[in-house]
Chains A and B, each alone.
Chain A
């Protein structure tokens, strides 16, 4: 897993005006505050730039309220990028813009052309040694198979996601070999499944809130472990867990608005390493 978390580029996308009202949501929570959403987004991008990543911000498309969640459109690993076929039909168009961006990064871009396949990037957890793909409302077996065909070097294991939107709605990688995981039954069950399926051993970082388990790990040269995680204001107990991490540069990022439409921290960006090419 050497080199895990090494990235040079971050791809994000602007928030369309239709976001507040048009974004898909699994739960009917409170209304999204468009202005605060913009502010949070701006801060988010600023953090990425601060870290030294080259941030590519794609233009918003008003016809695609969810386009800000670029993570679902592509899975990038090494020199290869798999363009997904999002499970929500309304989001399929989001991939086009992503394709252009990835191609410009000279990545080996693979498209998912199978009409029966669906895959959301939010269901794909890459640990550095293998993939776990959540079989959810948005991702099916066929989509996982195509991912396996695309990244042949790695084991691809499927994990049923019975509740929640995505696999990464309750987990993510918080470091090399470190899985952040929520406390819900769904999350814990998924973790067990992943442990069973894996030849590798992982440490786990259990946080009280499932949503807080989604964080963004980056390992920048010269800056060591960097972790973008939830703020104490939003998830006080979970934030305490992150704060116990040693040797990390911890960056709390506010995500109050996106979470209303199932948007987690990792949802808004695609990370790539242009130097990853052999």
Chain B
């Protein structure tokens, strides 16, 4: 989840009303909670055994959080208060609602309900768990019962809970104590319901903190499946989108509000199923394909429907038997989306011709025909091209396919792709220049929302790794901060799984083929698979020694989850705190050298006519010209081991880039999974004369390319996550090589994840004098290294007489101030970036950004079209509070930008970016401080608290200034995180 809170601190006044309101709301919230709770509570019976220990633990735990983090604990309370005070009612409500929702969702699934739910909410903080247990005991308010237990704190609002959670999370890592406590404590068990490919349900009890891997292993064990790397577990998020369960992360973190309901399915469709070692693997693949076909996901012609169906009949029914197989025997099966009588006749006819074929042979024939289908193994995603035309992006073993109305209009094979990234709802691929081209081009696509963009990015990362590399990238430990998702595929690659499966020596397991008709009809049907359910035994074991699965996972998760988050979120400041290695990809397998198979891919294909979008990109000042900068950078840096790609603008980026660079240098391939989940942006604007004045938007069009990116990311405070993935890592041996070149270029993985910037008030303007300063702004976040010098500037700025907080990032712990680089420095890219970059986003909460997207269909169009696509954060909730006073300021008047400074500080979970701009308008100087606080982390983090604290601190720091506006931008990236 990304929560972005943007604050313009104008006055406190605004906040007060909020406070008042809160109490009112709180009851509502509580009620809501209560309602949800009962359901949860009812099931609790299971959980009860645990509670006792938990309680004891809880007691400990409770103090623990506060104690270890002496500061935090108080803060937490304060925060709560502060939050309540400061936050507009809406904010509160939303939060509360969100919390409530998750509970609801969980409740049904989780038997042990409350504890689990709470835990879930809390994101695996053990503390919470204990609390939850305790909760029942301490019902502060009637409504609060459940929650109260968790929260313990009298306040016991939904808000409070989050706060605690956040605290726990945030602080916990630092203290380390909490984690220890956590470890010991609970093992809560919940039941996962896994829908198998034959339609049956497999209930599996898991410890609540269990990672995805555990559940997946249990399912594979149940199925007696060894070649499991082609498969995965998926679930539907709260938007009903199917997401893959990340084996390296805790389940509950991933499913968030969703139920513990999963589907076992094929994740990587083997291009040549005949190379699978075991029949059971092929059988499962057949089941998946039958499902794909009958649901229309895998289109095929009448003849193919008939042929594939006939093999299905042969496999499931055996030889055609006139006595047994009456005329309508086929009607009971469901083969095609629309099954005609004609088809059934044809099926029967073909079925007869397969006489003597064994089920395994029939499966093989089925697969041999199915694999030829053009959409076999293509994972489709809805998107729009740069012109807003609806298209489909298909991720497959060989690369990325672009479809428009069933027509393939472009294709990017993995060897052609230098980098895969996403930013907000945009998904980008950087294309290797063609024979006749000098520059790389970047093609951008617009996904329906941020999550969708992240989803396809992940799918691409995974497919690339699985099919094109011989071994997964090594996780890189994040040195500092990392922006964006560090997600990497950590499982075995196809090459590795083939090697492993070659070593399988067991007598073929017996398995029973389920009738398609049966499965289709009854979900409740007895599990087809002969293997007995281990669930119960397992469960018991879990309970006893959850430590293995759940525990360990929990522990690890802790570090992992948090750290990754931190890293991601940490954009700027995290460095310090974060240190935690984000290397989620724990599992590293032996690198296989098989280069053979994959090689054949189309290296040859010369680049098409992709024009370089880069140049065009310059056009839009505000737009993030992702492509151009990157390309340029890439071009420059490619061979240089270290690249700071996008980093310039965002401190985060920088940090990342630096990390990346380092990492790349070390490993070359970071596998880290990062999740930037929540971003809270708090912007404070202090305006003396005319508040608004600060940013004249316009200006820096061209120069700002990088700046834009950066700026937008960092300064803009867009909470969104960005991530990059460079398919080709330098020097990585792993790559199944097709092109030698690729490897070289691959070198740097940069992740630019400028998650933070939310929209509103970013100020980018060109200041003539202060180009440097501006540059700083842009760069600010980026260079963690250089940081400090600049930060301070801020306070000084207030020429107007207003003092600015030097430390804008009030909330956060460590503040690192980074001097911004001059854009030029960072980006080697055409140095043009004049410092001038300025995006001014004014007060309006929704900021639109211009993104330059090069045309998708470059192949067909000789020219690449660059367009500016206004991006509106639709997926996010944005709440804006503006002080009435400020309203007038809304006008943006072009002023002269005197100075602009950006300071970024980071704490574990929070990154604060402060932009101080001084603008001279009509003789009045206006100082505006924008603070963006990006809270990154699992859902656990209490945004409210962080927000409250941020506001509070802002006020304290700048007594003479008023809070003009508070914008809370909450992005739900949940799926992404864990996914």
On whether the beta carbons of B407 and A157 are closer than 8 Å, the reply is: yes
CB atoms of A193 and B608 under 8 A apart: yes
B859→A196 contact, CB < 8 A: yes
Inter-chain CA distance A70–B820, complex, in Å, is: 69
Min distance, Cβ A18 to any Cβ of chain B, angstroms: 36
Residue numbers in A under 8 Å from B406 (CB-CB): 145, 148-149, 156
- Shortest CB-to-CB span from B876 to chain A, Å, is 35
A202 to B224 CA separation, bound complex (whole angstroms) = 41
In the bound complex, do residue A278 and residue B307 qualify as a contact, i.e. CB atoms below 8 Å apart? yes
Query: Does any Cβ of A come within 8 Å of B408's Cβ?
Result: yes
Q: Which residues between 301 and 323 of chain B lie within 8 Å of chain A, taking CB atoms?
A: 301-304, 306-307
**CB <8 Å contact, A197 and B374:** no
- In whole angstroms, what is the CA distance A204 to B347 when docked? 39
- Interface residues in A190-248 (C-beta closer than 8 Å to B): 192-193, 195-199, 201
CA distance A273 to B409 in the complex (A): 29
Per-position 1/0 for B269-312, Cβ under 8 A of A:
00000000000000000000000000000011111101100000
- Whether B531 sits at the interface, judged by CB under 8 Å, is no
- B608 near A196 (CB under 8 angstroms)? yes
Residue of A nearest to B298 (CB): A152
Q: Are B374 and A160 in contact (CB under 8 A)?
A: no
Give which listed residue, A141, A153, A157, A201, contacts B408 with CB less than 8 A. A157
**A149, A193, A201: which contacts B860 (Cβ < 8 A)?**
A193
Does B24 count as interface, using CB distance less than 8 angstroms? no
Which residues B582-621 have CB closer than 8 A to chain A?
A: 600, 602, 604-609
Tally of chain A residues near chain B (CB < 8 A): 34
B398 touches A199 (CB 8 A): yes
Bits for B757-792, please: 1 = Cβ < 8 Å to A, else 0.
000000000000000000000000000000000000
A195 near B602 (CB under 8 angstroms)?
Answer: yes
Q: Does B405 contact A (CB under 8 A)?
A: yes
CB of B409 within 8 A of CB of A278, answer no
A158 and B408 contact, Cβ closer than 8 Å, known pairs A151-B301, A192-B608:
yes
Give B881 Cβ to nearest chain A Cβ, in Å: 48
**A130 interface residue, CB < 8 Å from B?**
yes
A117 to B350, CA, bound (A): 35
User: Which chain B residues border A155 with CB–CB below 8 Å?
Assistant: 374, 408
The answer to the question of B373 belonging to the interface, with a C-beta cut-off of 8 Å to chain A, is yes
Interchain CB contact under 8 A, A278 and B350: yes
How distant is A48 from chain B, measured CB to nearest CB, in Å? 26
In the complex, which residues 248-278 of chain A have their Cβ closer than 8 Å to any Cβ of chain B?
Answer: 277-278
Q: Quick one: which of A108, A157, A159, A196 has the most chain B CB within 10 A? A: A196
Least CB distance, B751 to chain A, in whole angstroms: 28
| A160 CA to B608 CA, complexed, in Å | 12
Q: When the two chains form the complex, which single residue of B346, B405, B411 contacts A196, counting CB atoms closer than 8 Å?
A: B411
Chain A residues near B607: list those with CB within 8 A: 196
Encode A80-121 as 1/0 by CB contact (under 8 A) with B. 100000000000000000000000000010000000000000
Chain A nearest CB, measured from B675 CB (Å): 33
Contact B410 A153 (CB under 8 A): no
Judged by a CB distance under 8 angstroms, whether B326 is at the interface is no
- Is A198 a contact of B300 with CB atoms below 8 Å? no
| Max chain B Cβ within 10 angstroms of own Cβ: one of A108, A135, A154 | A154
CB closest residue in chain B, given A80: B301
A contact residues around B306 at 8 Å (CB): 278
Chain A residues positioned under 8 Å from B411 (CB to CB): 157, 196-199
A189 at interface, CB cutoff 8 A: yes
Residues of B within 8 A of A78 (CB): 301, 303
Known: A152-B300, A153-B372, A278-B306. A197 touches B609 (CB 8 A): no
For residue A10, CB closer than 8 A to chain B, the reply is no
Chain B interface helix/strand/loop/mixed: loop
Q: Which residue of B lies closest to A193 (CB)?
A: B859
Q: Shortest beta-carbon distance, B542 to chain A, in Å?
A: 45
Shortest CB-to-CB span from B396 to chain A, Å, is 8
* Pairwise interchain contact A195-B374, C-beta atoms closer than 8 A: no
Given contacts A79-B303, A153-B374, A199-B398, contact A148 B602 (CB under 8 A): no
Q: Within the assembled complex, what's the spacing in Å between the Cα atoms of A78 and B302?
A: 11
Q: Which residue of A lies closest to B411 (CB)?
A: A197
A residues in contact with B373, CB < 8 Å: 153
A187 interfacial contact with B, CB 8 Å: no
Partner of B409, one of A130, A158, A199: A158
Q: Is the CB of A148 within 8 A of B407?
A: yes
A68 touches B (CB below 8 Å): no
The answer to whether B299 and A145 have CB atoms under 8 Å apart is: no
Would you call A195 and B606 a contact (CB within 8 A)? yes
Question: Shortest Cβ distance from B415 into chain A, in angstroms?
Answer: 12
Q: Is A75 an interface residue (CB 8 A)?
A: no
Interface: A60 (CB within 8 A): no
- Among B304, B406, B608, B609, the one with the most A-chain Cβ atoms within 10 Å of its Cβ is B406
List chain B residues, Cβ under 8 A from A141: 404-405, 407
Mark contacts of A119-131 with chain B using CB atoms, 8 A cut-off: 1 yes-contact digit, 0 otherwise. Answer: 0000000000110
B608 to A278, Cβ gap below 8 A?
no
Docked Cα-Cα span, A153 to B299, in Å, equals 7
Q: Nearest residue in A to B373 (C-beta to C-beta)?
A: A153
The CA-CA distance from A149 to B405 in the complex, in Å, is 10
Separation of A148 and B407 alpha carbons in the complex (Å): 7
CA distance A160 to B410 in the complex (A): 12
Chain A residues numbered 166-201 whose CB sits less than 8 Å from any CB in chain B: 189, 192-193, 195-199, 201
Closest to B405 in A: A145
Judge whether B860 and A160 touch: CB under 8 Å.
Answer: yes
Q: Decide: B605 and A154 in contact? CB cutoff 8 A.
A: no
In the complex the two chains form, what is the Cα distance from A253 to B581 in whole Å?
71
B299 in complex: contacting residue of A144, A152, A278, CB < 8 Å: A152
A197 pairs with B301, CB closer than 8 A: no
Of B307, B407, B605, B609, the residue contacting A195 (CB under 8 A) is: B605
Within 8 A of A (CB), among B699-721: none
Of chain A, the residue at the smallest CB distance from B399 is A199
Q: Can you report 8 residue pairs joining A to B where beta carbons are below 8 Å apart?
A: A79-B303, A141-B404, A148-B406, A159-B860, A196-B606, A199-B602, A201-B600, A201-B602
20 A-B pairs besides A158-B407, A160-B860, A192-B608 with CB distance below 8 A are A133-B407, A152-B299, A152-B301, A153-B301, A153-B303, A153-B372, A156-B406, A157-B407, A157-B411, A158-B860, A189-B609, A192-B606, A193-B608, A196-B410, A196-B606, A196-B607, A197-B411, A198-B602, A201-B604, A278-B350
User: Which A residues fall within an 8 A CB radius of B?
Assistant: 78-80, 108, 129-130, 133, 135, 141, 144-145, 148-149, 151-160, 189, 192-193, 195-199, 201, 277-278
- B-side residues, CB < 8 A to A, are 299-304, 306-307, 346, 350, 372-374, 398, 404-411, 600, 602, 604-609, 859-861
What 7 A-B pairs have minimum CB-CB distances, sorted nearest first? A155-B374, A157-B408, A148-B406, A152-B299, A196-B608, A195-B605, A152-B301
